[in-house]
Chains A and B, each alone.
Chain A
Amino acid sequence: MAQTTHPPGTGGHAASGDGSNRRDFLYLATGAVGVVGAASAAWPFISSMNPAADTLALASIDVDLAPVAEGQAITVTWRGKPVFVRHRNAKEIEQAKTVNLGELRDPVADEARVKKPEWLIVVGICTHLGCVPLGQKVTDPRGDFEGWFCPCHGSHYDTAGRIRKGPAPANLVVPTYAFTSDTKIRLG
């Protein structure tokens, strides 16, 4: 402890020419270790807020499409979110296919958004601020492009679930799914 009683400025090695000395280095090194330690200690706390194992272990769900007639749509819950399944008619498919991609905000061809043209499957959450758009029922407002209309802030989606008008930045998300048979899909 006697070493620490040096008058200020004479501790450790003599100051080198550029004004920094061993003590400055030790301060910085100690500080850096402290920051790393604090960040390591904070990590478990922050990580605990992310989805837990049981939340992540969400089973895939199977959906039977057979009862959904042409022009109808159903909503299924997957990962706590609504998923829209729409059985498109020929006119809707035609509308989705003939759009000039250049005029889309989030340009994706209709073919890239469906596995079978008559079945459009999208997550029913507006990409603006997360509302559920209207348009699943025939009596719902479907917006200017006959897909979906989000009443919260006025986003219009077309028959391929693509954003056409309003504040949303992106198309409705296409979830991971596969056809397990001609009329059955597995989500997730």
Chain B
Amino acid sequence: MAQAQASKFKNPVVNWIDSRLPIFTMLDHEYNHYPMPRNVNYLWAFGAIAGIMLVIMIATGLFLAMQYSSHTSLAFDSVERIMRDVNYGWLLRYVHANGASMFFIAVYIHMFRGLYYGSYKAPREILWILGVIIFLVMMGTAFMGYVLPWGQMSFWGATVITNLFSAFPIVGDPIVTLLWGGFSVDNPTLNRFFALHFLLPFVLLGLVILHTAALHVCGSNNPLGIDAKGPQDTVPFNPYVTLKDGFAVVMFLIVFAFFVFFMPNYLGHPDNYIPANPLVTPAHIVPEWYFLPFYAILRAIPDKLGGVIAMFGSIALLLALPWLDTSKVRSCKFRPIYRQFFWILAIDALVLGYAGAMPAEGSWLLIARIGTFYYFFHFLVLLPVLGKLERPLPLPNSISEAVLKGAHAKSMEKA
């Protein structure tokens, strides 16, 4: 038993390590030879982009944490000191603050890609559920990070969000006191949020590893939504996908850099440059843009508990998505009716986001209510029913057949 495993690597050092801990074999298997469907498009790069964003956030966050003080009397000034006095502090902070937005952009595109191409369907349910959990942990991390600068939006955002839990009968108020560590959002709250904001990214990293492991069990989905049947349907991950993803990452980082260097505060809120004041609520409390659709759902329901349940429910129902969608066909390419509703959902999410940024009055409230209704109607009624009623278009026999036939036809046209 106690014998080194056989290893195929030529380098003796690599070989020696690999025969004792086969990490190189694993990497070679998962990131070199790993078969990717040959027809994946650039939307498939957003998983890698999100992964890069997590690394950037952990790296900048670590160095910001070395300069930050998590005490209510010091926090705001320590962030201003980072901006003015710390070498490249402005860069680290702007990369971190805008990085959160870019991380959410990447993840939202990644999620909508999964929705469009049915990447949540069997056998990828656990992969999808892990993704939803990653999304939830990300939201918690982002929320707590936004509290740390201890500006007006930090303070009142923390107050509003922690108060959500007070909606639950009996257990609500003790939970809120437990979250606060006092009678209001105060120093104990800031301290624990900093501790958790430091911890959760590493939890995310672990979840991302699980997410990737689950992905590599059944392989990536593809725009046709049919399984790869053999080597003719796939290309090796390296160099084909590493280069393609690499190019997409560079393009994405250009957009990211544009925000960091030319409009670093565009996605933030000016009120957060006012130090927190527990006695004055800003006129409009608005969360960061990536929470706006959920904020709109919260405000659309004219009942506190109902609003909170609808908001949490809107995310929780994503966990049940693999079973809500009754259609066996994965890709929207072959679902002519559902495809249209997919785009209505995408527009609905944008409308809800816009309504979430507006005051909850008059026509905006009505729009938010219609948007909220459609969101739940889409997932709870349309998806189960459409899967039964819709007649999907015929699926191609294989990826290579569909891809090569197109190429053949094109070369014929040219000739």
Residues of A that sit less than 8 Å from B by CB: 46, 49-52, 55, 58, 75, 77, 79-82, 125, 128-134, 150-154, 167-169
Contact = CB atoms under 8 A, between A and B. Distances in A.
A131 B281 contact: yes
Contacts of B283: 151
Nearest to A170: B304
Contact of A46 (B164, B178, B184, B360): B178
A159 to B, nearest CB: 20
Given A131-B285, A151-B281, A167 B183 contact: no
Interface of B: 156, 159-160, 162-164, 166-167, 177-184, 186, 188, 192, 278-281, 283-285, 299, 301-305, 307, 359-361
Contacts of A80: 182-184, 186, 278
Contacts, number: 86
B304 A81 contact: no
Nearest to B176: A130
A152 B284 CA distance: 6
Nearest to A75: B279
A167 B304 contact: yes
Contacts of B180: 51
A51 B279 contact: no
B302 A167 contact: yes
Given A130-B159, A132-B281, A153-B299, A51 B183 contact: yes
B300 to A, nearest CB: 10
A167 B307 contact: yes
Contact of A131 (B156, B167, B305): B156
Nearest to B183: A79
A46, A58, A154, A167 — which one has the most chain B CB atoms within 10 A of its CB? A167
Given A129-B160, A150-B281, A152-B156, 9 more contacts: A46-B178, A49-B179, A49-B192, A50-B177, A52-B188, A80-B183, A82-B278, A132-B278, A132-B281
Given A82-B279, A169-B305, A152 B160 contact: yes
A77 B160 contact: no
A152 B356 CA distance: 12
A129 B157 CA distance: 10
26 contacts: A49-B192, A50-B177, A51-B181, A51-B188, A55-B181, A55-B182, A55-B186, A75-B279, A77-B278, A80-B186, A81-B183, A82-B279, A129-B163, A131-B156, A131-B159, A131-B281, A131-B285, A134-B281, A152-B156, A152-B284, A153-B299, A154-B360, A167-B301, A167-B307, A168-B304, A169-B304
B184 A81 contact: yes
B304 A132 contact: no
A55 B304 contact: no
Contacts of A152: 156, 160, 281, 284-285
The 4 A-B residue pairs whose C-beta atoms are closest, nearest first, are A130-B163, A80-B184, A129-B163, A131-B281
B285 A79 contact: no
